[in-house]
């Protein structure tokens, strides 16, 4: 720490050069933080998925419906604890820009399948007893100022009622705070939805299955699909995590994309920082010679060069990651309805710390070697 003023003074010698180098490091770590945030937003739902839940959909595509009778047949499969179903509704509130994740679900089995949604016994009973009742996430309720007891009209961009209307009136029975981060969704009674829709009656979007032993997930999934093999409506069953990950994979290998961009950005940053350090050492060759003349060992001088590179990398990295956290916080407010888990993953800061040390060390490698090999006579002669 006693050399910190010296290191700080060296960084201030060429302020414009130092500022530009610092800016490149800040931008590199800012992009890294935002890329990690995007990766977590697209794939984070899979990490929060229940390990003991399966999802059965149409073998061809999710948009193809299944007969509701399939749920009762799945319920008889050995190893199955609970079975329910749901239909994608495609909720829109007032304006087309206000799209809300909305599902019509089998209310009697909903909490047997999903223990993450916390409601009191009174709230659960109120929802179960009200055929037009709905439970809404805390985030979406705060966004629109909804409260328990409000009647809200939700319009669907897919479904119509028998009377030609595309809007369903729902009564807010409770506001939930889910431990899996899903606080921007709305769930209402499938029976209420099914009895009034103009087409697709008694069909469901997917079957939700909770199993007793997660180790038997593969075997149970194969058993379910074998039940409906060679039928007019074949199925595909997978774990909830694999189901969610499949959506993210439609955009490509997110992890590989993030890694490729991060490598390119950090390589560019490394070149800029190494060039800055190299120029700085060349300008101070005589000073290094004087320091060695005064008794500074080669190790001490080399350590100061390394510390200088590490300091500027650490300052830039810390600022970049802080800006990424601030930016992701702002985006989380604006995009909560689309990405409920948006935020910088905690592991990003650990990875960032390692990158600061590694990149700072690599940038200082050649200058450190030059300072270590430099002889006093050669240094003073150059003066």
User: Domain extents for the chain?
Assistant: 4-46+252-382, 60-233
Task: Give the mean pLDDT of the chain.
Answer: 83
- pLDDT value for 65: 92
- Phi, psi values for residue 101, rounded to 5°: -65, 110
Global pTM reads 0.66
Residues 202-242: tens digit of each pLDDT = 999 999 999 999 889 889 999 999 999 988 899 999 888 77
Q: Which of 106-115, 205-214, 239-248, 309-318 has the lowest mean pLDDT?
A: 239-248
Query: CB neighbours (10 Å) of residue 109?
Result: 17
- Residues 6+ positions from 326 with CB-CB distance below 8 Å: none
Helix/strand/coil (H/E/C) assignment for every residue in 183-251: CCEEEEEHHHHHHHECCCCCEECEEEEEECCHHHHHHHHHHHHHHCCCCCCCEEEEEHHHHHHHHHHCC
In the predicted model, is pLDDT for residue 296 greater than 60?
yes
User: Measured in whole angstroms, how far is the alpha carbon of residue 368 from the centre of its chain?
Assistant: 39
In the predicted model, is pLDDT for residue 249 greater than 80?
no
- pLDDT value for 174: 94
Tell me what the mean pLDDT of segment 9-13 comes to: 73
d(CA 341, CA 344): 9
Residues 336-366: tens digit of each pLDDT = 555 555 667 778 889 889 999 998 888 888 7
Residues 46-89: tens digit of each pLDDT = 444 457 899 999 998 888 999 999 999 999 999 999 999 999 99
């Amino acid at each position: 720490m006693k050399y910190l003023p010296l290191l700080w003074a060296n960084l201030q010698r060429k302020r414009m050069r130092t500022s530009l180098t610092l800016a490149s490091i800040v931008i590199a770590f800012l992009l890294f933080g935002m890329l990690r945030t995007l990766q977590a937003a697209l794939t984070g739902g899979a990490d929060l998925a229940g390990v003991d839940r399966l999802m059965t959909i149409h073998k061809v595509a999710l948009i193809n419906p299944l007969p509701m009778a399939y749920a009762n047949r799945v319920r008889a499969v050995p190893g199955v604890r609970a079975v329910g179903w749901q239909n994608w509704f495609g909720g829109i509130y007032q304006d087309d820009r206000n799209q809300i994740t909305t599902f019509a679900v089998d209310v009697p089995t909903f909490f047997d399948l999903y223990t993450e949604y916390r409601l009191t016994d009174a709230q659960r009973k109120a929802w179960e007893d009200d055929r037009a009742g709905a439970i809404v996430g805390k985030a979406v309720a705060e966004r629109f100022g909804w409260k328990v007891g409000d009647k809200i009209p939700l319009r669907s961009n897919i479904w119509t009622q028998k009377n030609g209307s595309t809007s369903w009136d729902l009564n807010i029975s409770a506001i939930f705070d889910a431990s899996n981060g899903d606080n921007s969704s709305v769930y209402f009674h499938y029976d209420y939805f099914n009895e009034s829709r103009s087409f697709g009656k008694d069909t469901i979007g997917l079957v939700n299955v909770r199993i007793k032993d997660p180790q038997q997930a593969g075997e149970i999934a194969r058993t379910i699909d074998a039940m409906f093999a060679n039928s007019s409506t074949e199925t595909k069953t997978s774990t909830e995590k694999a189901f969610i990950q499949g959506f993210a994979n439609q955009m490509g290998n997110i992890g590989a994309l993030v890694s490729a961009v991060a490598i390119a950005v950090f390589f560019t940053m490394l070149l800029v920082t190494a060039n800055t350090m190299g120029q700085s050492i060349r300008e101070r060759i005589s000073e290094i010679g004087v320091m060695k003349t005064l008794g500074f060992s080669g190790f001490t001088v080399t350590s100061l060069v390394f510390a200088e590179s590490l300091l500027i990398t650490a300052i830039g990295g810390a600022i970049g990651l802080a800006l990424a956290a601030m930016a992701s916080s702002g985006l989380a407010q604006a995009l909560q309805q689309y990405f409920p888990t948006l935020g910088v993953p905690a592991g990003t800061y650990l990875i960032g710390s390692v990158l600061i040390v590694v990149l700072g060390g690599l940038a200082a490698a050649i200058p450190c070697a030059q300072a270590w090999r430099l002889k006093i006579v050669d240094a003073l002669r150059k003066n």
